[in-house]
């Protein structure tokens, strides 16, 4: 069993489906000049066999709802003074803005740089989402290949 030093303050994203940790890291786009990030791939998990885990120091005020698009089975632990003060079970979000990019080359979001990428959940079981502009449907179940956008961090919540 791999042991990583516990963190004093920060978040631990646990039970990430093995292989999806890199996508979550990509989306979170943590500034590693300010924060220490530990990424553990293929750790043993009692629940699911293999899992990825991400630990981020000194980031606690994080809006995690959108992470459910990438992996609704992950859990987020918020840690303060070495203790878990909040445990969040992710779920499948109804609507996401600027997490994945629409793949349709004729979509307005492919043409206009500033158009937000908005997707609405249309089938929870199949995790299918519809692009707000072009009605293209993406399936977020299994090995999806949509391009991940980078999270925009408001400076007041992020910096130290």
Which chain residues interact with Zn ion by CB under 5 A? 102, 104, 107, 131, 133-134, 136
Q: What letter does residue 66 receive in the DSSP assignment?
A: T
In terms of CB distance, is 128 or 136 closer to Zn ion?
Answer: 136
Question: Could you give the 3-state DSSP secondary structure of residue 141?
Answer: coil
Contacts of 153 (CB under 8 A, 6+ apart): 29, 31
Is the distance from CB of 42 to CB of 89 less than 8 angstroms?
Answer: no
In terms of CB distance, is 80 or 147 closer to Zn ion?
Answer: 147
CB of 98 to Zn ion, least distance (A): 13
CB of 129 to Zn ion, least distance (A): 10
Residue 52 β-bridge partners? 16
Alpha helices, H only, the chain: 21-28, 67-70, 108-111, 155-158
Cα–Cα dist 49/52, whole Å: 11
CB of 105 to Zn ion, least distance (A): 10
In terms of CB distance, is 70 or 102 closer to Zn ion?
Answer: 102
CB of 96 to Zn ion, least distance (A): 13
In terms of CB distance, is 69 or 131 closer to Zn ion?
Answer: 131
In terms of CB distance, is 80 or 112 closer to Zn ion?
Answer: 112
Take residue 22 and report the two structure tokens written for it.
């890199």
CB of 2 to Zn ion, least distance (A): 41
Q: What letter does residue 65 receive in the DSSP assignment?
A: T
């Amino acid at each position: 069993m791999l042991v990583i030093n516990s963190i004093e303050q920060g978040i631990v994203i646990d039970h990430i489906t093995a292989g999806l940790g890199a996508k979550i890291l990509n989306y979170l786009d943590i500034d590693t000049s300010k924060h220490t990030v530990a990424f553990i791939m293929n750790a043993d998990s009692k629940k699911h066999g293999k899992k990825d885990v991400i630990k981020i120091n000194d980031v606690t005020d994080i809006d995690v709802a959108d992470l459910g698009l990438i992996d609704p089975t992950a859990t987020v632990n918020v840690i303060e003074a070495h203790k878990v003060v909040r445990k969040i079970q992710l779920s499948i979000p109804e609507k996401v803005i600027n997490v994945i990019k629409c793949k349709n080359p004729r979509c307005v979001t492919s043409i206009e740089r500033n158009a937000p990428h908005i997707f609405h959940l249309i089938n929870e079981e199949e995790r299918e989402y519809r692009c707000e502009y072009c009605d293209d449907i993406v399936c977020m179940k299994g090995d999806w290949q949509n391009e991940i956008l980078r999270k925009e961090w408001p400076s007041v919540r992020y910096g130290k």
